[in-house]
């Protein structure tokens, strides 16, 4: 047995499913999850010492590569000054200043410890600010696991909340509406029917949780206009896209100013940091300034704040995003050529340095078309790549990420490996 297999056997005795987050268990692709012993730059090493070029990047945070020296140093120095104070510290103000400066729609920001907390808090704030109850999310978009967001993906124009998990009561999702992503008519119908009681529309401006799916031209602009017209709060969940697809996130890339933004992943440099922020008029309603309650023991943790500052500072280097995009285009073009040569139907969605290969003709523009792809073939592709040292996301409905630590050589090695794997799949 490999070390990962032995560790997984032990883990399953004391941790449900042997993992602390379900997607890590390889359930979608089968097989035993790799236990990682070390990661540096573009690579990870498993418990058996085998190395992989990594395209999961901890599901987004590792845009600078693993063990990025300025982040490691910042965390080491912060730890030597104590690991948590439960009191305000300068590092919180330093990171908040950076976020407010870099994301124009954010006047004020509150740090929390996970994307789930950020979106849950942003929705409570939107409901408190508007005095309304209903919220709208989109099928295939994931915003963390708070009860009100765990609804079955809507089919058809709009679906009233149906619990998406045991333990979620019908009452907690009764005010959660769902509609297909990229369907403006569905949103118009919902605004028509519920606009007066719609507190918020929450969207991944570029979806990453059904695989990478871009907004259609005009879609985000339509959401902005419709929410403005009916008085609902527009929440961009940029936990994944923030500082990923552009320095100012999707809202910069698409020129939209949401009312609230959720951030996470990259702003913590790999440590537990997430945030929600937006217009002062709304944020000033958050306790202790306003009446809407939200709190957290480790919010603004000094080590996490130091890691976040180091990450955002490093991302200010001129040309960073152009370089990320160029590397990811190289990968996208290479994979497409390899699939064509192998006679395998492959649709590769890419936005910035996020991308997802779908084994179908395409286009993949919403959850229904994503689910229509050949996920069994994806699983075979995943394992073929893994066996040859390339670590892709172990699930079709996830995005792969390229980092500034990936070299052109890494990309070319990945493409060459894909060509060989795809040829065997055909």
Under the binding rule (CB under 6 A), the answer on residue 61 touching ligand KE4 is no
Q: How many residues bind ligand KE4 (CB under 6 A)?
A: 19
The pairing of beta strand 159-160 with beta strand 176-180: antiparallel
Which range touches ligand KE4 (CB under 6 A), out of 168-176, 237-245, 279-287, 322-330? 237-245
**Angle of CA points 383, 266, 8, to nearest 5°:** 35
Whole-angstrom distance, CA of residue 312 vs CA of residue 243? 8
The pairing of beta strand 347-351 with beta strand 354-358: antiparallel
Neighbours of 416 (CB within 10 A): 13
Whole-angstrom distance, CA of residue 152 vs CA of residue 50? 39
Measured from the CB atom, the residue of 23 and 333 that comes closer to ligand KE4 is 23
In the bound complex, what is the minimum distance in angstroms from residue 62's beta carbon to ligand KE4? 13
Using the Cα atoms of residue 314, residue 319, residue 321 and residue 326 in order, give the sign of their dihedral: negative
In the bound complex, what is the minimum distance in angstroms from residue 348's beta carbon to ligand KE4? 18
Residue from 8, 52, 59, 382 binding ligand KE4 (CB under 6 A) = 59
In the bound complex, what is the minimum distance in angstroms from residue 273's beta carbon to ligand KE4? 9
Residue with tokens 């992503």: 181
Under the binding rule (CB under 6 A), the answer on residue 142 touching ligand KE4 is yes
Whole-angstrom distance, CA of residue 273 vs CA of residue 262? 11
Whole-angstrom distance, CA of residue 158 vs CA of residue 184? 12
Whole-angstrom distance, CA of residue 390 vs CA of residue 34? 12
Structure tokens at 58: 């901890």
Under the binding rule (CB under 6 A), the answer on residue 169 touching ligand KE4 is no
Q: Are 363 and 377 in contact (CB under 8 A)?
A: no
E strand or H helix at 295, and its extent?
Answer: none
Which range touches ligand KE4 (CB under 6 A), out of 204-212, 253-261, 285-293, 344-352? 204-212
Neighbours of 190 (CB within 10 A): 23
Closest residue to ligand KE4, based on beta-carbon distance? 115
Residue from 33, 41, 163, 208 binding ligand KE4 (CB under 6 A) = 208
Which range touches ligand KE4 (CB under 6 A), out of 88-96, 154-162, 203-211, 352-360? 203-211
Under the binding rule (CB under 6 A), the answer on residue 54 touching ligand KE4 is no
Measured from the CB atom, the residue of 114 and 257 that comes closer to ligand KE4 is 114
Length of the chain: 426
Under the binding rule (CB under 6 A), the answer on residue 115 touching ligand KE4 is yes
Q: Which residues contact 87 (CB under 8 A, 6 or more apart)?
A: none
Measured from the CB atom, the residue of 57 and 334 that comes closer to ligand KE4 is 57
In the bound complex, what is the minimum distance in angstroms from residue 220's beta carbon to ligand KE4? 15
Under the binding rule (CB under 6 A), the answer on residue 239 touching ligand KE4 is yes
Point out the residues that are catalytic: 142, 237, 265
Residue from 14, 21, 131, 297 binding ligand KE4 (CB under 6 A) = 21
Footprint of ligand KE4 (CB under 6 A): 21, 23, 59, 114-116, 119, 142-144, 204, 208-209, 237, 239-240, 264, 274, 398
């Amino acid at each position: 047995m490999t070390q990962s297999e032995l560790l997984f056997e032990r883990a399953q005795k004391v941790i449900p499913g042997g993992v602390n987050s379900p997607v890590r268990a390889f359930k979608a692709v089968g097989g035993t999850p790799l236990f990682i012993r070390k990661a540096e730059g573009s690579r990870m090493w498993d418990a058996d010492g085998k190395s992989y070029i990594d395209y999961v990047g901890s599901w987004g945070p590792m845009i600078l590569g693993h063990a990025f020296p300025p982040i490691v140093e910042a965390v080491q120095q912060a730890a030597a000054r104590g690991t948590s104070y439960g009191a305000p510290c300068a590092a919180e103000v330093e990171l908040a200043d950076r976020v407010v400066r870099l994301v124009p729609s954010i006047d004020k920001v509150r740090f929390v410890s996970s994307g789930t907390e950020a979106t849950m808090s942003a929705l409570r704030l939107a409901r408190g600010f508007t005095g309304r109850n209903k919220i709208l999310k989109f099928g295939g978009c994931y915003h963390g696991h708070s009860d009100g967001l765990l609804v079955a993906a809507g089919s058809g124009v709009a679906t009233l909340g149906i619990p998406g998990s045991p333990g979620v009561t019908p009452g907690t999702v009764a005010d959660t509406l769902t509609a297909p992503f990229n369907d403006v008519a569905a949103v118009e119908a919902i605004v028509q029917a519920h606009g007066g009681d719609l507190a918020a529309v929450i969207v991944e401006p570029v979806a990453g949780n059904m695989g990478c799916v871009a907004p259609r031209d005009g879609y985000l602009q339509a959401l902005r206009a419709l929410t403005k017209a009916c008085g609902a709060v527009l929440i961009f969940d940029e936990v994944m896209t923030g500082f990923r697809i552009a320095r100012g996130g999707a809202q910069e890339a698409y020129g939209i100013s949401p009312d609230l933004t959720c951030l996470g992943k990259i702003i913590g440099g790999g440590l537990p940091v997430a945030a929600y922020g937006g217009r002062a008029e709304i944020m000033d309603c958050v306790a202790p300034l306003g009446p809407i309650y939200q709190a957290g023991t480790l919010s603004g943790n000094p080590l996490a704040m130091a890691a976040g500052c180091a990450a955002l500072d490093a991302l200010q280097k001129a040309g960073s995003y152009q370089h990320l995009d160029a590397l990811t285009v190289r990968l996208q073009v290479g994979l497409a050529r390899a699939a064509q040569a192998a006679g395998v139907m492959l649709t590769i969605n890419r936005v910035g340095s996020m991308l997802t290969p779908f084994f179908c003709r395409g286009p993949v523009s919403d959850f229904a078309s994503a689910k229509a792809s050949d996920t069994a073939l994806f699983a075979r592709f995943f394992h073929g790549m893994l066996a040859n040292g390339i670590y892709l996301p172990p699930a079709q409905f996830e995005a792969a990420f390229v980092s500034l630590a990936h070299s052109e050589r890494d990309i070319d090695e990945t493409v060459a490996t894909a060509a060989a794997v795809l040829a065997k799949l055909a």
